[in-house]
């Protein structure tokens, strides 16, 4: 197998890991105002992903870095053509990260509500726009002979891409709801189970429609299998959920997401960014790749570092594997009188 193909597969694996892991993070953030009826319950929801969300985002950083190093032409055309959507995603992720860190810095209800809203929007926007972006990558964009994007923002907001955004949004909400049912106790778990029971229908409708349309318009014979696996996995969520087997339901939503991403990358290969103007202008794993020497060095580094990263992340999930409930959330301690008095004096000046 050529190094260009190996690195295409590795980049696909990185995106699979990102969407599987960050997918339930996004789902939790989106469901925060729905499932958290008070501050304590919202802290429960945040604490389910608090120890792991930043590690999950590493998959995105590595995927971007690997694309830049292995397929610089793909990276350049992608980020120039998708500049505004990717910038919005980046800003949303930054706001979301800041919200995790700043929410508990002050014992003020309005302060925490504002950061809760930041968590919600910082999760919702990427959940939609990642679907829009990948749908456009599979569909193709107007690239000229110099591999430069010559379209507009409106071209990216086509019906197929918007359906892709709805698909990722619905899948991530379902993935997050099932994750919360697996990780919480009491009333929060009960409400998460109810939300998951409703979300599976939306995921089947939007995700199924998007994958079927992808297969009919852009698919290959082999991708019928991955589309079928994704559909069966989503259907399998229903009996697992009804029987209270949250672990199996989570596996099923994970399999659905993995199968969907595999479908997109198999549909795309050997192209990495098709041109809608002329097939000869398309970027492929061959004409977008870095030099063989660069790919060889990257392969050696990946072979050494990847097992270490995977082992560390697996250890993190094992350590924080237990369920969380409101009984595990300590009360917010009021500020000491001396600190409060000093703050009042300072504000009065």
Q: Are 62 and 310 spatial neighbours (Cβ–Cβ below 8 Å)?
A: no
Distances (CA, A) of 80 to 73, 87, 152: 11, 11, 11
Q: Which domain holds residue 231?
A: 3-348
Q: Comparing 346 with 22, which gets the higher pLDDT?
A: 22
Interval 97-115: pLDDT, tens: 999 988 888 888 889 999 9
**Which pLDDT score, from 0 to 100, does residue 308 have?**
87
The owner of tokens 């504000």 is 347
Q: Does residue 127 have a pLDDT over 90?
A: yes
pLDDT at 109: 85
pLDDT at 349 over 80: no
Rg (CA), the chain: 22
Residue 63, pLDDT score = 92
Contacts of 258 (CB under 8 A, 6+ apart): 16, 20
Asked if pLDDT for residue 3 goes beyond 80, the answer is yes
Average pLDDT of span 125-148: 93
Rounded to the nearest integer, the mean pLDDT of the chain is: 89
- pLDDT over 90 at 26, yes or no: yes
CA distance 321 to 209: 34
Give the mean pLDDT of 58-75: 91
Do 169 and 199 meet the contact criterion of CB atoms below 8 Å apart?
A: no
Q: What pLDDT was estimated at residue 333?
A: 53
User: How much of the chain, in percent, has pLDDT values that exceed 90?
Assistant: 67
pLDDT tens-place string over residues 211-239? 999 999 998 999 999 999 999 999 999 99
* pLDDT higher than threshold 50 for residue 347: no
Mean pLDDT of 158-182: 95
Please say if the pLDDT value at position 70 is more than 80. Answer: yes
Q: Where residue 325 falls among pLDDT bands split at 50, 70, 90?
A: confident
Q: Which residues contact 346 (CB under 8 A, 6 or more apart)?
A: none
Q: What pLDDT score was predicted for residue 151?
A: 85
Structure token digits, residue 336: 């000491």
pLDDT at 346 exceeding the cut of 60:
no
pLDDT value of position 328: 75
Quick one: pLDDT band at residue 335, thresholds 50, 70, 90? very low
* Mean of pLDDT values over 320-333: 78
Count of structural domains, the chain: 1
| 114-118, 129-133, 203-207, 323-327, range with the lowest pLDDT | 323-327
- Long-range (24+ apart) CB contacts under 8 A made by 194-200 are 195/31, 195/34, 195/35, 196/237, 196/241, 196/249, 197/241, 197/242, 199/170, 199/173, 199/174, 200/174, 200/234, 200/237, 200/238, 200/241
Report d(CA 211, CA 151) in Å as an integer. 25
At 171 the pLDDT is 96
DSSP symbols for 168-205: HHHHHHHHHHHHHHHHB-HHHHHHHHHHHHHHHHHHHH
Band (284; pLDDT cuts 50, 70, 90): very high
Cis status, amide bond into 270, omega within 30 of 0: yes
Q: How confident is the model at residue 332 (pLDDT cuts 50, 70, 90)?
A: low
pTM equals 0.90
pLDDT over 90 (residue 126):
yes
Residues facing residue 184 across a β-bridge: 324
């Amino acid at each position: 197998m050529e190094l260009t193909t190996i690195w295409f597969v590795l980049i696909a694996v990185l995106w699979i890991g990102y969407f599987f892991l960050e997918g339930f993070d996004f789902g939790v953030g989106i469901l925060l105002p729905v499932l958290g009826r008070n501050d304590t319950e919202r802290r429960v929801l945040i604490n389910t992903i608090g120890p792991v969300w930043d590690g999950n985002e590493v998959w995105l950083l590595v995927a971007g870095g690997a694309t830049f190093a292995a397929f610089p032409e793909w990276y350049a055309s992608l980020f120039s053509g998708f500049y505004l959507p990717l910038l919005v995603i980046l800003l949303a992720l930054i706001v979301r990260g800041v919200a995790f860190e700043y929410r508990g810095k002050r014992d003020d209800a309005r302060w925490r509500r504002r950061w809760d809203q930041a968590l919600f929007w910082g999760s919702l926007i990427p959940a939609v726009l990642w679907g829009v972006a990948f749908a456009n990558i599979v569909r193709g964009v107007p690239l000229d002979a110099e591999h430069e994007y010559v379209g507009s923002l409106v071209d990216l907001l086509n019906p197929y891409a918007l359906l892709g955004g709805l698909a990722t949004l619905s899948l991530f909400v379902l993935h997050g709801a099932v994750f919360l049912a697996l990780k919480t106790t009491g009333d929060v778990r009960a409400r998460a189970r109810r939300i998951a029971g409703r979300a599976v229908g939306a995921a089947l409708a939007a995700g199924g429609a998007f994958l079927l349309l992808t297969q009919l318009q852009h698919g290959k014979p082999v991708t019928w299998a991955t589309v079928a696996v994704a559909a069966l996995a989503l259907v399998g969520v229903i009996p697992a959920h009804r029987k209270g087997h949250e672990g199996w339901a989570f596996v099923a939503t994970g399999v659905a997401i993995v199968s969907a991403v595999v479908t997109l990358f198999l549909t795309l290969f050997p192209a990495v960014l098709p041109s809608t103007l002329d097939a000869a202008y398309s970027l492929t794993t061959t004409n977008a790749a870095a030099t063989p020497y660069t790919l060889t060095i990257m392969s050696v580094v990946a072979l050494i570092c990847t097992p270490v990263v995977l082992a560390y992340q697996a250890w993190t999930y094992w350590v924080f594997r237990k369920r969380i409930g409101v009984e595990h959330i300590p009360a917010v301690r009021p500020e000491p009188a001396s600190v409060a008095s000093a703050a009042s004096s300072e504000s009065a000046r």
